[in-house]
Amino acid sequence: MHKEIIVKMNKTFEESVFIQDGVEYWMARDLQALLDYAEWRNFLQVIDKAKIACVKSGQNITDHFVDVNKMVRLGSESERKIDDIMVTRYACYLIAQNGDPRKEQIAFAQSYFAIQTHKQELLEKRIALVERIRAREKLADTESELSGIAYERGVDGQGFARLRSKGDQALFGGHTTLEMKKKLRLPEKRPLADFLPTITIKAKDLAAEITGFNTKKNDLRGEELITSEHVKNNKDVRQLLGKSGIRPEELPPEEDIRKMQRKLNSENKKLLKGPAKQNKK
């Protein structure tokens, strides 16, 4: 396929996209023309195959294919209502994969939507990673502040370690910090939170925030009282998660957050170097 044709098709596909509430979509009737299908009924057969593929991939059809009606103007200046379908970028990818590969437009669309869908997946993963890193940093700050509050009220370093472990035991349904590390097969000398999913990190942070707040508000003093407060708050947070069917001890571990942080920093450096190199030319 010549470069000029690729550039032209790319421009045509991008100009056909609509955006609603931050979600990109195409109209199936427009896509029919873009993919060189003369008959709507023939194109519907391709869409049906794409819907089957959508279900097999574990997605909901209604999240990617939305039936709509629209008015079209006829040659006699009259209007007629016709059926149409709003399709997401992922739906377009599935349609292209199930289209006639002999068509030049289909060949282009298969690569175009595959790349764009992959970019979307990478973006979503990157955003989720950044959120997890920020949650971990926030937890570290909260626990540091709580440690200072506890120290001012008679709790030393070892006492705070016991306090935090008992809080974990309340949050993880009776499993201590060490037991959770063994359960998840994590390094004993690494913080448990470095391998927890974002939802659990935020749960720990919320419990610690409440403990710090109530410790100052009620002027709690001594390891026993502050630990009791922390255990209660972790139990309350666990109960809240339970209402949504979330059991923290049953969630699988995530990749080492330190490793992911280094990877993210490396990617950021590469992005910063790119434009600099271009400017030197």
**Interatomic CA distance for residues 49 and 69, integer angstroms:** 21
Quick one: pLDDT at residue 136? 94
pLDDT tens track for 41-54 = 999 999 999 999 99
Whether residue 219 sits in one domain with residue 142? yes
271 assigned to some structural domain: no
116 assigned to some structural domain: no
Signed CA dihedral, 141, 143, 146, 148: sign only: negative
Give me the domain span that covers residue 58. Answer: 3-100
Whether residue 200 sits in one domain with residue 85? no
Decide which of 66, 100, 134 is a domain's last residue.
100
Could you give the 3-state DSSP secondary structure of residue 5? helix
Alpha carbon separation from 264 to 47, 127, 139, 232 (Å, rounded): 38, 11, 19, 36
In this predicted structure, the answer to whether residue 177 has a pLDDT above a threshold of 80 is yes
Quick one: pLDDT at residue 17? 80
> Taking residues 194-202, what's their average pLDDT?
96
Whether residue 256 sits in one domain with residue 131? yes
Specify the number of domains making up the chain: 2
In this predicted structure, the answer to whether residue 278 has a pLDDT above a threshold of 60 is no
Whether residue 81 sits in one domain with residue 149? no
In this predicted structure, the answer to whether residue 241 has a pLDDT above a threshold of 50 is yes
Whether residue 139 sits in one domain with residue 186? yes
Whether residue 136 sits in one domain with residue 63? no
**Interatomic CA distance for residues 203 and 241, integer angstroms:** 8
- Name the phi and psi angles at 93, rounded to 5: -60, -45
In this predicted structure, the answer to whether residue 66 has a pLDDT above a threshold of 80 is yes
